[in-house]
Amino acid sequence: MRAGPSDEAAGTLGRGQRLAGSIVPVICLSLLGWSSAWAVEPPTPVLTLNRAFELAEAANPDLQAARLQNDVARAGIAVAGQRPNPDLLLEEVRETPHDAATLSQTLELGGKRHRRIDLADATVASRRAETERMRLEVRNRVRRAFFELNTAERRALELAELRSLAERTRDTAETRYQAGDVAKLDTVLADLTATKALNDADTAQSLIASARASLNALLALPADTPTNTTEVGASNRAGKGETSPLTFDAGTLVERALAGSSALAVLDRGVAEQKARLALAHALRVPDAVIQGGVTRRAQPDFDWGWRAGLSLAIPIFTTGSAGVTVEERTLALLEGERRARAIELAGAVRAAAATAEAERLQLQHFRELILPAAAAVESMAEDAYRSGQTALPALLQALQTTHDLRLQAIQAAADYAAAIADLESAMGVPLP
């Protein structure tokens, strides 16, 4: 029996409903999968240099240990301010008086307690200066590791661009070969270039992992934490990248270093601490007095209850304390000489580092303003000329290799400039932008 139009419509509707029933869950699951992927894998934020400094200063193990040393030094102030305890002597003897109770108290003369407190305060200041020096040292290490990772990432981006360009060149060579415009050698040579570019790009990714692990260790993060210092897809073309607001006037930098160097601050606090030790050595030359007072009992027939009082004082005949004073004076002279020598050395190191940084800055500026724009124009012209059949493949590959080498040199120039800033910061002992 043949089905009528209404039956065919009903069958079509039934099949449509079954098809919709099977497709809708799949679409829903796919949307759920996409939404979960979006929720689980948000884009990794770019780590800035200032943020890296903050993380290191908050969680670096070396700095945490230094801060604990500061707490120990502060606790020493309370120890230095302690006073001697009194002594109680109880006696029971056969001779008269048979019973005695004596209380003695040592009196520190010459300001010993005050000098001890001054020394403890100076020690706290020395530990703070040492902590600041260590903080700047960690900061300098973070700066170097940060730009090492940044250089590796930018190098990887450049190699990825070269890989993409080599693949486009290979496709163009294949198209022209299929059209009979070039020989098979062009396709083989273009494929070899693309393979080498792929290998270089893979190697660059391995170097990123190594540099990232070094930086994460300074930030007290797991080694595989995905810290990125460069935006994904960022360009290495001219005009990109950070510039420093520093001016490399040697005289200004030397003055700033002499006024605020953490290394000189450590020596200054060491000199102050040694002066406090010398003052304490002078105070120790004054002998302490011991006063005694007591009661006696059972001294018949003379008395039943009595009393006694006394004062003892060491006579500085054999040990006068002058040797200790001499040691502290010589140590102070040594520290002051080291401080003067360090200031002279620092001035020379800052001038040399400033000259190097200025030279690296000029080189990087030339790359960004002159060399890279010209290289980008040559690359574009060479690719267009080969695609239109005006030049041969070797000329294109040579042009691409030249521009690629220039961009890698520009990346290295930026790395050298960052290293020069780190060297200048290390020489000055002062934090730089």
Q: State percent of the chain over pLDDT 90.
A: 51
How are beta strands 99-107 and 289-299 bridged, if at all? antiparallel
pLDDT for residue 33? 42
pLDDT for residue 246? 67
Q: Is the pLDDT of residue 102 over 50?
A: yes
What the block records as the tokens of 105 is 């108290």
What the block records as the tokens of 71 is 């707490």
Q: Give the pLDDT band (50/70/90) at residue 235.
A: low
Q: State percent of the chain over pLDDT 70.
A: 86
pLDDT for residue 182? 77
**Contact at 8 Å (CB) between 87 and 104?**
yes
Lowest mean pLDDT among 10-24, 66-80, 272-286, 359-373: 10-24
pLDDT for residue 177? 81
Secondary structure of residue 311 in the 3-state scheme? strand
Q: What is the DSSP string of 240-292?
A: -S--------HHHHHHHHHHH-HHHHHHHHHHHHHHHHHHHHHHHTSPPEEEE
pLDDT for residue 225? 87
- Kindly state the helix (H) or strand (E) to which residue 32 belongs, with its residue range: helix 5-40
Secondary structure (H, E, C), 162-201: HHHHHHHHHHHHHHHHHCCCCCHHHHHHHHHHHHHHHHHH
**Contact at 8 Å (CB) between 152 and 204?**
yes
Q: Tens digit of pLDDT for each residue in 160-191?
A: 888 888 888 888 888 888 888 778 888 888 88
Q: How far apart are CA 292 and CA 310, in angstroms?
A: 5
Q: Is the pLDDT of residue 148 over 50?
A: yes
Q: Is the pLDDT of residue 242 over 70?
A: no
pLDDT for residue 331? 96
Q: Tens digit of pLDDT for each residue in 296-306?
A: 998 888 888 99
What's the helix, strand, coil split of the chain in %, to 5? 70, 10, 20
Stretch 400-422: mean pLDDT:
91
Cα 418 to its chain centre, rounded Å, is 14
Secondary structure of residue 81 in the 3-state scheme? coil
Q: Is the pLDDT of residue 6 over 80?
A: no
Q: Is the pLDDT of residue 35 over 70?
A: no
Q: Tens digit of pLDDT for each residue in 194-214?
A: 888 888 888 888 899 999 999
In terms of pLDDT, which residue wins out, 175 or 12? 175
pLDDT for residue 244? 53
Q: Tens digit of pLDDT for each residue in 243-295?
A: 455 678 899 999 999 999 999 999 999 999 999 999 999 999 999 999 999 99
Phi/psi for 143 (5° steps) reads -60, -45
**Contact at 8 Å (CB) between 216 and 227?**
yes
pLDDT for residue 14? 47
Q: How far apart are CA 372 and CA 240, in angstroms?
A: 11
Q: Is the pLDDT of residue 8 over 60?
A: no
pLDDT for residue 41? 47
pLDDT for residue 189? 83
Question: Euclidean distance between the first and final Cα of the chain, in Å?
Answer: 91
Q: Is the pLDDT of residue 101 over 90?
A: yes
pLDDT for residue 185? 82
Q: How far apart are CA 230 and CA 148, in angstroms?
A: 12
Q: Is the pLDDT of residue 316 over 70?
A: yes
pLDDT for residue 376? 86
